[in-house]
Amino acid sequence: MSDTIELEDEIIEDEVRKMGSVNHSIAQTRTSTLLSSDERFEVLVELSLDASQIDLKRFGLKTKDEIVPDISVYIGSAPIPDEEIEDDILKASQMPDLAIEILSPSQSIGMLVRKIKAYFALGVKSCWLIVPPMKVINIYSKPSQSKTFDMNDTEVVDEVMDIRLPIQKVFSRRQSVPQMNS
């Protein structure tokens, strides 16, 4: 089998594994919105990060030279394309200060923890693992050091990033509103 076909199979396999869900989407949207309201941060979803400087296979990840967090948070501004050369950046070489992963039904927590370890190896300062079915958020300040927040806590606290978010707002769902008949 050629390298091209193997790489395409790995990309397709990774995309299938990452399929989102309603709960994943709600957590991603709410978390992004809450963080975006803080003027200190630039928040980007599904940004491809250039991971070519490390061997991702060492972390048991099947992707070759890029890694994509559900949410990337930059203190200040996000990477800016050099307008003389490019219109956009397809793979950011500037790592975010915070990388957030959200468990989808087709992913394993073990795989996301391996991604978190890779983020730290790339220079990310803080990582979150959001688990919608359990309504839990793990904040990693180091690859093997995390603090768990659940619905019994009033807020999620990331001391590295100086972030405090009301945890109920990350997982809350809107109540259905009766439709008006015209």
122-154 per-position pLDDT tens digit: 999 999 999 999 999 999 999 999 999 999 999
Asked if pLDDT for residue 86 goes beyond 80, the answer is no
Q: Is 48 within a domain?
A: yes
Q: Is 106 within a domain?
A: yes
* Confidence at 62, pLDDT banded by 50, 70, 90: confident
Of 12-16, 102-106, 117-121, give the range with the top mean pLDDT: 117-121
Q: How many domains does the chain have?
A: 1
Burial per residue of 22-55, b for 16 or more beta-carbon CB atoms within 10 angstroms, e otherwise = ebbebbbebbbebbeeeeebbbbeebbbbbeeee
CA 143-58-43 angle, to 5 degrees, is: 50
Q: Is 124 within a domain?
A: yes
pLDDT of residue 181: 66
pLDDT of residue 20: 73
Supply the pTM of this predicted model.
0.85
Cα–Cα distance measured from residue 112 to residue 144, given in angstroms and rounded to the nearest whole number: 13
Q: Is 180 within a domain?
A: no
Residue 50, domain extent:
19-76+92-171
Asked if pLDDT for residue 8 goes beyond 50, the answer is no
Q: Is 181 within a domain?
A: no
pLDDT of residue 16: 42
Place of tokens 């309201």: 37
Q: Is 3 within a domain?
A: no
CATH number of the domain within which 42 lies: 3.90.1570.10
